[in-house]
Amino acid sequence: MKVLITGGAGFIGSAMCRHVVGKRGWSIAVIDKLTYAGHLSSLGKFSGDPRVAFIRADICDRNAVDEAFSRHRPDAVIHLAAESHVDRSITHARDFVHTNIVGTATLLDATRAYLDRCSPAQKDGFRFLHVSTDEVYGSLEGDGYFTEATPYEPRSPYAASKAASDHLARAWGTTYGIPVILSHCSNNYGPYQLPEKLIPLAILNAMELRPLPVYGDGLHVRDWLHVEEHVQALLLMLERGRPGECYNVGGRSERTNLHVVQSICDILDRKIPESKARRTLISFVPDRPGHDRRYAIDSAKIETELRWRPQGEFEAGLERTVEWYLGNREWWEPIRAAGHGTKRLGLLNETSK
């Protein structure tokens, strides 16, 4: 199996690369622009592996994408490259339109041109896995869950750009016959996540006894899934999912942001005790504009159709993640030193127009 993975130097992309090369022995071609969010060090020992062809390119660059298809002749595309941080999307919305919408359209067009040059058998087995987010469904205010039939109601520039890319992927599937499969996953956590996102930011700040800002009242709910479990769900979709279908993926682990940050404090207090409990570092700061209140996923479709189930072991996964950050300073220190995650983004007085 030879797969073209976009965004393979990012958080989920690198987990995918490490998994398919390390555990399955696949050959991969990775297209990644290496934005502030992409780091070759996230590929770990597989950076430089002969089974990994790394192409530093923008997915909006049609020539570079065409060249990658011609040279590597993949059996599938796993499309993970994106601008992914909601706060950043409020401050720099156009970057999200560029990569998430124009980039996805470019990749779909290049896929179409490539498939035209493939044999019918190759075309038949080919899959384009478009990795998207539950945020396209908007915000849940009370009980209830997002299903695959939930109408789109994106509320942030990030979610809107991902929703647009979903529509493009579906349209290229129905119009041009590209075998597209879509996934909508809830919040991921785990190793190699950039410390601009809630969990790694809280871990590093709590480790260094810095302030722990929590947005609004801290009672926004996310459904957490370990990145390794997400990777396994994606591979099931790739291998056994039905083209044209969408699958929701969730962790059955709904927690408030405040609970998550408090849990990180408690884990670190146990591992490296300080004179003061780390919970005292928590402060409530102005909320994110348009902050979605709750996301929760109904994964019944992937559970019944593809026999995937989340383990729902958030506390144990969080503890392992804290341990990973404690033991892998050489990965995050240079990123932290470059200033990522140190400045609050997404406040309206700082947005570019």
Provide the annotated active-site residues.
134-135, 158
Cα(351)–Cα(165) distance, rounded to whole angstroms? 23
**Single residue of 29, 52, 81, 180 touching ligand NAD by CB under 6 A:** 81
Identify which range of 4-12, 109-117, 205-213, 235-243 contacts ligand NAD by CB under 6 A.
4-12
Q: Closer CB to ligand NAD, residue 161 or residue 262?
A: 161
Q: Closer CB to ligand NAD, residue 9 or residue 268?
A: 9
Does position 33 bind ligand NAD by CB under 6 A? yes
Q: Closer CB to ligand NAD, residue 32 or residue 228?
A: 32
Q: Which residues pair with 132 in a beta bridge?
A: 184
In the complex, the smallest distance separating the C-beta of residue 95 from ligand NAD, rounded to whole angstroms, is 8
Q: Closer CB to ligand NAD, residue 178 or residue 233?
A: 233
Q: Closer CB to ligand NAD, residue 37 or residue 207?
A: 37
In the complex, the smallest distance separating the C-beta of residue 338 from ligand NAD, rounded to whole angstroms, is 14
238 touches 129 (CB < 8 A): yes
Does position 292 bind ligand NAD by CB under 6 A? no
Q: Closer CB to ligand NAD, residue 129 or residue 265?
A: 129
Which residues, numbered 262-281, are part of the site for ligand NAD (CB under 6 A)? none
Q: Which two tokens stand for residue 187?
A: 């919040």
Does position 191 bind ligand NAD by CB under 6 A? no
**Single residue of 68, 82, 90, 201 touching ligand NAD by CB under 6 A:** 82
Cα(160)–Cα(155) distance, rounded to whole angstroms? 7
Q: For the packed helices 257-271 and 314-327, what is the interaxial angle rounded to 10 degrees?
A: 50
263 touches 315 (CB < 8 A): yes
Does position 47 bind ligand NAD by CB under 6 A? no
Specify burial of residue 154 (Cβ count, 10 A radius: 0-12, 13-18, 19+). buried
In the complex, the smallest distance separating the C-beta of residue 165 from ligand NAD, rounded to whole angstroms, is 8
DSSP one-letter string for 41-59: GGGGGGTT-TTEEEEE--T
Query: Which amino acid, residue 36?
Result: Y
Does position 131 bind ligand NAD by CB under 6 A? yes
Residue nearest ligand NAD by beta-carbon distance: 10
Q: Which residues pair with 6 in a beta bridge?
A: 31, 79
Does position 185 bind ligand NAD by CB under 6 A? yes
Cα(43)–Cα(57) distance, rounded to whole angstroms? 17
Identify which range of 57-65, 233-241, 276-284, 332-340 contacts ligand NAD by CB under 6 A.
57-65
Cα(119)–Cα(330) distance, rounded to whole angstroms? 46
DSSP one-letter string for 151-198: PP---SHHHHHHHHHHHHHHHHHHHH---EEEEEE--EESTT--TTSH
Binding site for ligand NAD (CB under 6 A): 6-7, 9-13, 31-35, 37-38, 58-60, 80-84, 99, 103, 131, 133, 162, 185, 187-188, 194
